[in-house]
Amino acid sequence: MSQVADVSAILSRLGLEPVNAGAWLSGPLAVSGAVVACENPATGQTLASVQLASAAEYDQVVSAAQAVFGRWRMLPAPKRGEIIREISEALRAHKADLGALVTLEVGKIASEGLGEVQESIDMADFAVGLSRQLYGLSMHSERSRHRMFEQWHPLGAVGVITAFNFPNAVWAWNALVAMACGDVVIWKPSIKAALTAVATHRICAAVLERHGFGGVLSLIIGADAEVGEAMIHDKRIPLISATGSTRMGRHVGQVVAARLGRSLLELGGNNAIIVEKDADLDLAVRGILFGAVGTAGQRCTTTRRLFLHADIAEALTQRLVNAYKQVRIGDPLDPATLMGPLIDEGAVRDYERAIESAVAQGGELLVGGSRVDRPGHFVLPTIIRARHDLPICQHETFAPILYISTYTDLADAIQWQNDVPQGLSSSIFTDSFRQVERFLSAEGSDCGIANVNIGTSGAEIGGAFGGEKETGGGREAGSDSWKAYMRRQTCTLNGSGDLPLAQGVRFDL
Ligand code: UN1
């Protein structure tokens, strides 16, 4: 690649070494696991390596995290917020390099790499404000001169398991909110995005160390079977927040539930856009293109299904096919590129298999359908005309494949949209208020996210993010998602000088 010199400068400004430790408190811990090469999916070249951590370092990290939790939880929340504000500034200072690293390591285009870091900065700013807004309710007691209120306390050590596709922002959704809440955070990132994790951790841990709170954030990079299993079984971790496939989440949810821990799951999506006959088609084309092709189809919010009203179906499909042919695929660092590579060869195989199945099931390939003949894991963005009920349309394939079906009655489109196991994001393009109302009503979209004249992806952090059904039910980022990271305590205070019992019960000698 042409930017070889730039790449090493970026890595070194972020403090990355040729071989990076897979376990971190304030600094790296000694690790002895396998050394894994971190590849640039656009070139296949090695960027740097990471040496994996094992169960022993995991234990070391949890012990340190528990020790610092005792002090961190007693620091007033607004003071924790001041430290998070410095983390926000540190992320701003490193935004360009960190964004480029996201691009280099997972293949997102430059603008999306930067956008991802911006999402983390937004989260940090949100968490600063949140640190002064951890509100509890107060209630009127039924007893005279009694008062009742609830307060929220930190939970403890939170395990955060993240996927490769949002290697920075999804950690921030969890970690920065959890920190404001007074928790300590143990991060287990995807090995496919290990360098972004090390760089992010270094930047944020340095701020904590300066304030004498090293260990509030920690990082453990290791095999799922060893480190991941240790973490989800660990009774010292009251909350596991996990992002990834439904298969992974089902396992995590069951293991954590068996020990009566809490889990917060953000799993697969199978998101649809409905386009009504009165929609602004210019907007719809842009929204669909970003939703289905953005991030090479590797967002949990990616648009995977499209339901077009019969009156506009042919015209809109033609426009999309033309637009797909113009998508510039290539080096994701080049600002002109719109679509980078898939993460690895496994993802390319999943893409090829899904297309084969769709065609075997009766789908008609309209555009794309194959890998691109160049180094790296590049594929063509693909549209398949398919009946809404093809078995393949029930599945999330983490690749840029869009299935298009046609409808005449909005009620059918909404039913088809809901008729999949997942329930993350959904959207409708229409200028009709009545159709919007149908889509947003209780018999409308069953997803955690429902958008109007916006695609399914690219949510702002201010809302609660997550979905229903097999998407896992968790909510992260904004709104009142913070409540998942705290324990609620209901307090009743008696200032009456007597001891009346609730519900009028008498118990006098
Ligand atoms: C994900 O793909 O796991 O709404 C998260 C979006 C982003 C987050 C996606 N803000 O598309």
Determine whether the shortest distance from the Cβ of 477 to ligand 1 is under 6 A: no
Mean pLDDT for back-to-back runs of 10 residues, the chain (509 residues): 70 98 98 97 97 97 98 98 98 98 98 98 98 98 98 98 98 98 98 98 98 98 97 98 97 98 98 98 98 98 98 98 98 97 98 98 98 97 97 98 98 98 98 98 98 98 98 98 98 98 96
The gap from C-alpha 460 to its chain's centroid, in whole angstroms, comes to 12
Q: Is 70 helix (H, G, I), strand (E, B) or coil?
A: helix
Can you give the residue ranges of every domain in the chain? 3-267+472-489, 271-464
500 Cα–ligand 1 center, Å: 52
Pairing between strand 303-309 and 364-367?
Answer: unpaired
460 Cα–ligand 1 center, Å: 9
Angle between helices 77-93 and 169-180 (to 10 degrees): 160
- The DSSP bridge partners found for residue 53 are none
pLDDT digits (tens, 9 = 90+) for 92-129: 999 999 999 999 999 999 999 999 999 999 999 999 99
19 Rama sector, left if φ>0, alpha if ψ -120 to 50, beta otherwise? beta
Determine whether the shortest distance from the Cβ of 243 to ligand 1 is under 6 A: yes
Exactly one of 300, 393, 396, 476 is catalytic; name it: 300
By most ligand atoms within 8 Å of CB, the mutation choice from 465, 475, 476, 481 for ligand 1 is 465
- The DSSP bridge partners found for residue 49 are 19, 37
Determine whether the shortest distance from the Cβ of 458 to ligand 1 is under 6 A: yes
Q: What is the atom index within ligand 1 of the atom nearest the CA of 302?
A: 11
CATH homologous superfamily, domain 271-464: Aldehyde Dehydrogenase; Chain A, domain 2 (3.40.309.10)
Q: What is the atom index within ligand 1 of the atom nearest the CA of 457?
A: 11
Determine whether the shortest distance from the Cβ of 307 to ligand 1 is under 6 A: no
Give the pLDDT confidence score for residue 5 in this predicted structure. Answer: 46
Q: What is the atom index within ligand 1 of the atom nearest the CA of 119?
A: 10
Exactly one of 266, 276, 396, 470 is catalytic; name it: 266
38 catalytic? Reply is no
- Quickly list DSSP for 267-327: ----EEEEE-TTS-HHHHHHHHHHHHHGGGG-STT-EEEEEEEHHHHHHHHHHHHHHHHH-
pLDDT digits (tens, 9 = 90+) for 458-502: 999 999 999 999 999 999 999 999 999 999 999 999 999 999 999
Nearest CA to ligand 1 atom 6: 458
Q: Are 32 and 52 in contact (CB under 8 A)?
A: no
Q: What is the atom index within ligand 1 of the atom nearest the CA of 461?
A: 10
116 catalytic? Reply is no
Q: Are 256 and 228 in contact (CB under 8 A)?
A: no
471 Cα–ligand 1 center, Å: 13
425 Cα–ligand 1 center, Å: 10
76 Cα–ligand 1 center, Å: 31
265 Cα–ligand 1 center, Å: 14
Determine whether the shortest distance from the Cβ of 469 to ligand 1 is under 6 A: no
- Quickly list DSSP for 457-474: S---TTSEE--EETT-S-
pLDDT digits (tens, 9 = 90+) for 206-254: 999 999 999 999 999 999 999 999 999 999 999 999 999 999 999 999 9
Cβ-based neighbours of 189, under 8 Å, separated by 6 or more:
161, 162, 167, 171, 196, 197, 219, 221
- Please report, for residues 279, 343, 420, 450, the alpha-carbon distance to residue 438 in angstroms, rounded to integers and kept in the order given: 15, 38, 19, 12
Nearest CA to ligand 1 atom 7: 458
Q: Which amino acid is at 129?
A: G
452 Cα–ligand 1 center, Å: 17
Determine whether the shortest distance from the Cβ of 20 to ligand 1 is under 6 A: no
Give the pLDDT confidence score for residue 412 in this predicted structure. Answer: 98
Element (H, E) at 432: none
CATH of 3-267+472-489, one of 1.10.8.60, 3.40.605.10, 3.40.640.10, 3.40.50.720: 3.40.605.10
Determine whether the shortest distance from the Cβ of 404 to ligand 1 is under 6 A: no
Q: Is 111 helix (H, G, I), strand (E, B) or coil?
A: helix
The gap from C-alpha 64 to its chain's centroid, in whole angstroms, comes to 26
Give the pLDDT confidence score for residue 1 in this predicted structure. Answer: 44
Angle between helices 194-210 and 169-180 (to 10 degrees): 30
By most ligand atoms within 8 Å of CB, the mutation choice from 164, 166, 293 for ligand 1 is 166
Determine whether the shortest distance from the Cβ of 299 to ligand 1 is under 6 A: yes
465 Cα–ligand 1 center, Å: 8
Give the residue from 416, 329, 422 showing the smallest Cα distance to 367: 329
Give the pLDDT confidence score for residue 3 in this predicted structure. Answer: 47
By most ligand atoms within 8 Å of CB, the mutation choice from 457, 461, 475 for ligand 1 is 457
CB atoms within 10 A of CB 239: 23
Determine whether the shortest distance from the Cβ of 165 to ligand 1 is under 6 A: yes
The per-residue pLDDT of the chain, averaged, comes to 97
Pairing between strand 382-385 and 401-407?
Answer: parallel
241 Cα–ligand 1 center, Å: 15
